Structure 1
Amino acid sequence: MLPWNLFPFHKNDQSPWKGFSPNQIEKYMADFMSNMMRNFQNEGMSPLSTTTVDKAPSSSPFQYDVFETFEEVFVRIRLKEDCLSALKLYHTSNQVILEHVPEENDRHVISLPALVKKKGGNALYKEGILELRFPKSHDWQFTELTIQDE
């Protein structure tokens, strides 16, 4: 037989809400939820996903935003449509490389906040914004190092 009297759920227990009317509890919960939503808005984050955002430095010739979600890394670059014909776009596991923008021999490197896969990335240009989307790579290669005594 289980010793039910050792659990904190006794008939004699005092509820933390005892003495509160339903209206007081409802007001407390509404205040709690509004404070939580205000905190999420102040942090600039959605309560449903975690993201980090990097912006282009002021010395950059074009503006871009880099952010990540749980599964992908996004780079949004503001470009004029006439730049697309000359643009060469490459990426490594942690960088995006743009060549020939805005001038013919220019080369710009954007660091990514997480490692990305070699395959599966795509680029979409719409309304003056080039959006690059890369799936994250969750394959971390670890190598054990041995410690030698002298």
Structure 2
Amino acid sequence: MFPWNMLPLNPDMKKMFNSMKPGDLDKYVNDMFGKVFTENIEGMMNPNDWMKTLQPQQRDSQNFNQPLGASVFETHDHVYIRLQLKDESWLKNMKIYHTTNQAIIENIPETGDKQTITLPVLVKKKGASAIHKDGMLEIKIPKSIDLQFSEVDVKDNL
């Protein structure tokens, strides 16, 4: 068991943190950053900006350059494509295909139209399914686990 009671913390700190307002807590954290970083480092980098760089950048894959307002997202095992069908007759005419990195939807919104959606990861050739419910079409494609990789030899030319 970790000896938490040996840490150099004031026993009243829990009460202090519980009674703080969000603005007070932000001020306290900024003061602690100011004590940790010297004036030279603080002049070069704002602690708030530094914390933002530590957080991973999340890409907004939904509705980003996707035809028909399709939203594309992935889970651990599948890639999902959701799109709102404005007309129920689209279901009768549409054809859905996919390659390892693209989904192709034909004949919507007009006959002869072709919509191409780039997928975020490689997908398997088989196992895709589509469900239509309440005007929403959801296409589910299993991800491909591609473990084929080759080592690249780096030569030093001096």
TM-score, normalised with respect to structure 1: 0.63
How far residue 77 of structure 1 moved from its aligned partner, in angstroms, is 1.1
**1:56-109 CA-partner distances (Å, limit 9, x unpaired):** 538x4x221111122221100111211010101001111100111111111111
State the 1:26 CA deviation: 4.5
SS at match of 2:79: strand
Q: Which has the higher helix share?
A: 2
More strand by share: 1
* Separation (CA, whole Å) in 1 of partners of 2:76 and 2:117: 20
Please point out which of 136, 139, 143 is paired with 1:132.
139
**Number of residue equivalences:** 121
The residue correspondences of 1:60-139 to structure 2 (distance < 5 A) are 60=67, 62-79=68-85, 80-139=87-146
Question: Which string of whole-angstrom CA distances, capped at 9 and with x for unpartnered residues, describes residues 100-143 of structure 1?
Answer: 11111111110001111222221101111110112221223223
Residue 5 (structure 1) aligns with:
none
Q: 1:94 to 1:20 in 2, by over 3 A?
A: same
3-state SS of the aligned residue for 1:116?
coil
Q: Which TM-score applies when normalising by structure 2?
A: 0.60
Counterpart residue type for residue 64 of structure 1: A
Tell me, yes or no, if the aligned pair for 1:73 and 1:133 is still in contact at 8 Å.
yes
Query: Once the two structures are aligned, what percentage of the paired residues are identical?
Result: 35
Distance (Å, rounded) in 1 between the aligned partners of 2:15 and 2:121 = 47
CA distance in 2, matches of 1:89, 1:128: 17
Preserved CA contact (<8 Å) 1:55 1:65 = yes
The answer to whether the 8 Å contact 1:100/1:106 transfers is yes
TM alignment of 1:6-17, pairs within 5 A: 13-16=6-9
Segments of structure 2 that go 5 or more residues without pairing to the other structure are: 27-57
Superposition RMSD on alpha carbons, in Å?
A: 3.5
